[in-house]
Amino acid sequence: MTPTEPDYLVIGAGARGMAFIDHIIHHDPAATVAVVDRRAQPGGHWVDAYPYVRLHQPAMFYGVGSMPLGSGGRDLASKPVILDYYRAVQKELEATGRCHFLLEHSYEGEGRCRSLLDPTQVVTLRPRRRLVDTVYIEVSVPSTRPPPFPVDPKCTVLPLNVLDIVEQKWQRYVVIGAGKTGMDAILQLLSLGVEADRITWIVSRDPWLIIREQIWPAALARSVGAQARVLSRSRTWQDIYTGFEGLGIFARIWPDREATCFRCATLNTQEIEQVRRVEHVVRMGHVQRVDAEAIVLDEGTLPTGPEVLHVDCTAQGLPSWPPRPIFEPHRITLQTVAFCQPAASAALVAVAELELSDDQTRNGALQSVLPPARPEDFLSSLPAFYSNGRAVIRHRAMRRFMFRNRLSLFNHFSLWEGLLAIFYCLPWLFSIEPNVRRIAGLLPPRDNLAVKTPLR
């Protein structure tokens, strides 16, 4: 039975929530936690994601701090492996007797948790320390909502979840969405034997990509000096992207076209080559509606019909909400504090919660690093990232996390790789941040931030 007055009431059992809870339970032997999630098992968006999804980054630094994921190393764990992993984490947390899960419950605010199986059943929980909002920045996937545009009944629009079970042989496939989800849909269609010339890709904005081979300790150790040189010598944010592209860290699917969005999408070089096989790319803005005979876009129309399968990949994976203080009286709003690393960020927030003295100190140590949307957002996020890095070095407990916790990439550097990285960075160490802050100061403020009310 769930205690009605846990120390922490955590809303959301996704990657952020589980990383936060795991650290609290394993580093505060007295803490009690109640977890509320509307899904039937932990895992967050992984529960809703398409069945052929895999990790975007190595398993060695994803998941929770107390338990390795998959085979570790470069393993890009599959959805079944990830879900089994989070079930195992849940079991370990519950075995402590201090962590209780209320799955298939919706959170209505003010501590009220309503059962989705029996809506007459409501549990009210009153956290003694904090309400922890893990869903302020919540990953969205297409299967959890209808298409965001009208669809004529004669046409078929389905989320990419169904691609490996659809039996009908469609004349053509139209992939709608230029993000990592759209890329995964294309890779899946090609792997199923669909000819590239039967695939049309609607791309509202050309994306920048991170090359996955570079997200590896040994590769980073070799390239960090060159990265530092680019960050120190660049005059504009465009120079930085061009420099990183030259180093093989960033890439464009179509190198002859200007890329106008960046959402941390990650592919390896072979996957990029596969995606490039699709030559019928439509750049006429966003889809407004799918009529019986035409797809209506912002800047034109595209013929379609009942024999075409439209694959919806339009969900915004990482929404950009206005940053807010992570620590407030009686509440924590989990946000990213390590660039594009949600699990490590959540665990770092837990470290600050347990080890730092007060909320002013905690908020001074950890600032929200907004997920990027435009390419320049990468630069505007770096000053907060650098500030967080200095705080991690300054505070002993956070420094220990950086070099000893499996969620921290730096923990996986060998001694030689760490020394090599420091050696290569030394010539640029004191010029990187001033130059980045200068460039970021020239950028206009972000205008793509919607308003979201945090949980109460």
| pLDDT tens digits for range 357-403 | 999 999 999 999 888 888 998 988 899 999 998 899 999 999 999 99
With H, G, I as helix, E, B as strand and everything else as coil, classify residue 353. helix
CA–CA separation, 358 and 57 (whole Å): 34
Tell me, what's the pLDDT at 451?
65
CA–CA separation, 165 and 161 (whole Å): 9
**Helical pair 15-27 and 79-95, crossing angle rounded to 10 deg:** 30
Nearest-5° Cα angle at 407, 401 to 410: 65
**Sequence ranges of the chain with CATH classification 3.50.50.60:** 8-139+318-391, 142-206+253-312
Could you identify the residue written with the tokens 């203080």? Answer: 325
What CATH architecture applies to the domain 8-139+318-391? 3-Layer(bba) Sandwich (3.50)
DSSP string, 71-112: T-TT---BHHHHHHHHHHHHHHHHHTTSEEEEESEEEEETTE
Whether 1 shows a pLDDT value over 70: the answer reads no
> In the chain, what percentage of residues exceed pLDDT 90?
74
CA–CA separation, 242 and 234 (whole Å): 10
Whether 167 shows a pLDDT value over 80: the answer reads no
List, in order, residues 6 or more apart from 130 with CB less than 8 Å away: 7, 8, 9, 330, 331, 332, 353
Tally the C-alpha atoms within 13 A of residue 258's C-alpha that lie toward its C-beta.
5
Tell me, what's the pLDDT at 426?
85
DSSP string, 273-288: HHHTT--EEE-S-SEE
Whether 107 shows a pLDDT value over 70: the answer reads yes
CA–CA separation, 318 and 14 (whole Å): 14
Mean pLDDT of the chain: 92
| pLDDT tens digits for range 294-303 | 999 999 999 9
CA dist 219 → 59, 215, 386 (Å): 16, 7, 21
For the CA atoms of 142, 146, 151, 157, the dihedral, rounded to the nearest 10 degrees, stands at 40
| Mean of pLDDT values over 164-179 | 87
Q: Provide the pLDDT confidence category of residue 150 given band limits of 50, 70 and 90.
A: very high
Q: Provide the pLDDT confidence category of residue 244 given band limits of 50, 70 and 90.
A: very high
| pLDDT tens digits for range 294-337 | 999 999 999 999 999 999 999 776 666 788 899 999 999 999 99
Q: Provide the pLDDT confidence category of residue 449 given band limits of 50, 70 and 90.
A: low
pTM of the model: 0.93
Question: Are the C-beta atoms of residues 125 and 111 closer than 8 Å to each other?
Answer: yes
CATH classification (class only), 142-206+253-312? alpha beta
